[in-house]
Amino acid sequence: MSRRTGKKPGPLRVAGDVATAGGFHGYLAEFLEHMAARQFSAHTVKNRRIELGYFIDWCEARSILRPEEVTRAMLENYHQHVFHYRTKTSEAPLSFQTQTKRLISVRVFFQWLARGHHLLYNPASELELPRPQERLPRHILTVAEVEQVINATDVLEPSGLGVRDRAMLETLYSTGMRRGELVNLRTDDVDIERGTVLIRQGKGKKDRVVPIGERACRWIEKYLYTVRHDYVEAEDTGDLFLARHGEAMQGKQLSVIVKKAIETAALDRFRDTHPNAAGHLFRHACATHMLENGADIRFIQALLGHADLSTTEVYTRVSILQLKAVHEKTHPARLARVAQDSEAWPA
């Protein structure tokens, strides 16, 4: 049974025709078992299964039933298919990230086939990925806006869940952790006395210890001593943040809570934020505000759990306060402060 939902997971669909000897189905199942044995997360294995399912369905629709029948030219055709694909609901192209994930899965799958001597050569060895887009977060919450959102939680509601929500938002902003990392926290992961949080099995299945501010600690403490025990079932699983019926909080539930707080705070420029992206607003805000206050970028990298510094450097492009100050001091086309005559002011 799943500790988080209490339900048995349904059967996983592995793409490909089971009846085809040497077909995609058997190899895909073996590949997924290989990934699980190498301690890849269940989330990563699931995504590989889904992404490769799209590729295998595309192949079998063209009577390509076995990996050995795939050629480099076919993979280039699939690349074009992914690029030109449009969703049925919005007629929008797949995002850059989605295109890249689908092609990376194909490349990794064929690399595994070749290394395991299931194929004589790897037809995907030269499969090119889309050029990376250096996208910036569309909006960054200001310090005042963060306070608006956090204060939008109703900490006086009788259920006490408003206190839980406040503690979660304070933790997100103080630590910059991901939503999946927050919902996986256990009660003994937070050391209130030392002001630290142990994040277990973060992205890349790496543990890390991060600092947490005093304000967030006080709200966690209030939640622990006044709310949480009301939602603990007969057996305490040890999960820190519990949902209404005593089960561990889920990532989607957290996203809905953050989205609701943003709507309650009436921040119009964040009105269209997708719930799945809402939790990341606090992560972006944490990193940007600390950089603007002088934090070293390598400290931010350690805080956010980024394996590559280049991932963290996006926040140096978002943080514009220092650049704005230099621009005002040095750019020649600035308004003269000494002008008193109304004619000196622009129309």
Catalytic residue among 48, 66, 102, 280: 280
The identity of residue 46, as a single letter, is K
The CA distances from residue 175 to 147, 158, 164, 196, 312, in Å, are 15, 28, 16, 9, 15
* Residue 138 bears catalytic tag: no
Q: Are 136 and 317 contacting, i.e. CB atoms less than 8 angstroms apart?
A: yes
* Residue 8 bears catalytic tag: no
Backbone angles phi, psi at 243, to 5 degrees: -80, 180
* Residue 25 bears catalytic tag: no
Strand partners, 199: 208
Q: Which of 43, 263, 284, 71 is nearest to 149 (CA)?
A: 263
For the sheet with 208-211, list strands across it. 190-191, 196-199, 208-211
* Residue 81 bears catalytic tag: no
Residues contacting residue 96 through CB under 8 Å, at least 6 positions apart = 130, 132, 133, 135
How does DSSP assign 231-290, residue by residue? Answer: G--SS---BSSB-TTSSBP-HHHHHHHHHHHHHHTT-GGGTT--HHHHHHHHHHHHHHHH
Three-state SS for 333?
coil
Catalytic residue among 49, 283, 284, 289: 283
Residues contacting residue 34 through CB under 8 Å, at least 6 positions apart = 112
DSSP state of 22: T
Catalytic residue among 139, 203, 208, 260: 203
The C-alpha atoms of residue 302 and residue 286 are separated, in whole angstroms, by: 13
* Residue 27 bears catalytic tag: no
Structure tokens that stand for 294 in this block: 């002088």
With both helix axes pointing from N to C terminus, report the angle between 42-60 and 96-115 in degrees, rounded to the nearest 10: 90
Catalytic residue among 54, 78, 173, 315: 315
Burial readout 249-268 (b: 16 or more C-beta within 10 A, e: otherwise): bebebbbebbbbbbeebebe
Catalytic residue among 102, 178, 284, 289: 178
* Residue 315 bears catalytic tag: yes
The identity of residue 290, as a single letter, is M
Q: Are 189 and 200 contacting, i.e. CB atoms less than 8 angstroms apart?
A: yes
Q: Catalytic residue positions?
A: 178, 203, 280, 283, 306, 315
